[in-house]
Amino acid sequence: MATNILRRQFATSAQSTLRIGLIPADGIGREVIPAARRVLESLNSGPKFEFVDLDAGFELFQKTGTSLPQETIEVLKNECQGALFGAVSSPSHKVAGYSSPIVALRKHLDLYANVRPVKSVNSPAFPNQKLLDMLIIRENTECLYIKSEREEVDPKTGLRVAYADRKITEFASQRAGKMAFNMALTRQQLREQIPVEKRFWKKNPRVTIVHKSNVLSITDGLWREVVRGVKTANKEYDNVEMEEQLVDSMVYRMFREPEAFDVVVAPNLYGDILSDGAAALVGSLGVVPSANVGDSFVMGEPVHGSAPDIAGKGIANPIAAIRSAGMLLEHMGHTTQALKIYDAVDAVLADGSVLTPDLGGKSSTNDVTEAVLKNLA
């Protein structure tokens, strides 16, 4: 049984049909989101699905001057119960008028936490993989991602100076902290259903708070104080251990001893970097899913980017997107169906004979999708 079960933040949908927005966006997003859709459609129990194709992305911006049409926002808010987002090709240099649609969607839909499980798989394809089952909770709405930047000219030197504002609030920090402690409890409840000798994590549930308050004493200091306060103010978390890691030390320990971590909660930028780095421990970004979670909406999103170097070649790894579809169902209360997806993916990885090139194989996107569908059946 998969152990990366997430705690739902809203009531189970009573609807027999779920309307899901599909936003492939850029690059390989257009290849992996259709694969995830096929997996959802193949489920022989649980809800039925209606899918709505929606636009967003840098390529759309290049064509139309907008990266996120208002229509996409309105359809998601008013007509959909959830969404799947593919990947976005945000440029590394400044492009006038452009802003990331995924960052904007997180704000418009109040998806305040990005939940990223990183779990090793017993597979002949990964003989030297370290054992880990870690869940990274990334605060999703603020930090440097508020994109408040400016450039000035130093009057003394005549050289340009760039500034970026960073925002950390008690409100957002508290919400992320509660989700981290809630998920630590949920993961422990699931572990208790597994025989002790087969459990990977045999300790008490634990939350690790990541910060750099020894340098950023006001912003990270507030983050640290508020997240710590979540535990001390709630007796239900008495059995959840709490520790802290400076972000640089966290990176070091994560690669040296990833098995030491259970639930990790971090501000937006640190969480982004840590979760991408953690993907290296389980073979590839192509297997790591995520869910952008709010109180009444969830959007699955593979952690990988748009991968323009392989886009259109049919070799993109669909596993992260398929797992993200599982997380979408999980957060909407359809846990049984989510577990079926997770188990089918794990079976493909454990077999190791059908893998895309990022995992050292020679299989296509469609090959891997078909293998997952076969295990589901």
What confidence tens digit (pLDDT) does each residue in 263-272 have?
999 999 999 9
CA-CA distance, 142 to 121, in Å (whole number)? 33
pLDDT of amino acid 14: 46
What is the pLDDT at residue 15?
A: 55
DSSP state letters, 105-171: HHHHTT--EEEEEEE----TT-TTPPP-EEEEEEE-S-EEEEEEEEEEE-TTT--EEEEEEEE--HH
Q: What is the pLDDT of residues 288-306, one digit of tens each?
A: 999 999 988 999 999 999 9
The pTM (predicted TM-score) of the whole model is: 0.86
- What beta strand segments (E) does the chain contain? 17-25, 48-53, 82-87, 113-119, 133-139, 143-153, 160-167, 206-211, 241-246, 263-266, 291-293, 298-300
Instruction: Answer yes or no: is pLDDT of 187 > 70.
Output: yes
pLDDT band for position 116 (cuts 50, 70, 90) = very high
Of 3-7, 183-187, 303-307, 371-375, least confident by mean pLDDT is 3-7
Q: Where are the domains of the chain?
A: 18-129+282-376
Q: Summarize pLDDT for 354-372 with one digit per residue, the tens.
A: 999 998 899 999 999 999 9
- Is 50 exceeded by the pLDDT of residue 11? no
CATH 3.40.718.10 corresponds to the domain 18-129+282-376: yes
Q: Is the pLDDT of residue 308 over 50?
A: yes
The pLDDT value recorded for residue 36 is 98
- pLDDT computed for residue 224 by the predictor: 98
> How many alpha carbons lie under 13 Å from residue 149 in its C-beta half-sphere?
9
What's the rounded Cα separation, in Å, for the pair 202 and 186?
15
- Segment 83-99 shows an average pLDDT of 89
3-state secondary structure of 265: strand
- What per-residue confidence (pLDDT) applies to 279? 84
d(CA 332, CA 294): 11
What backbone torsions phi and psi does residue 15 show, to the nearest 5 degrees? -75, 140
Lowest mean pLDDT among 116-130, 137-151, 178-192: 116-130
Q: Which residues pair with 49 in a beta bridge?
A: 18
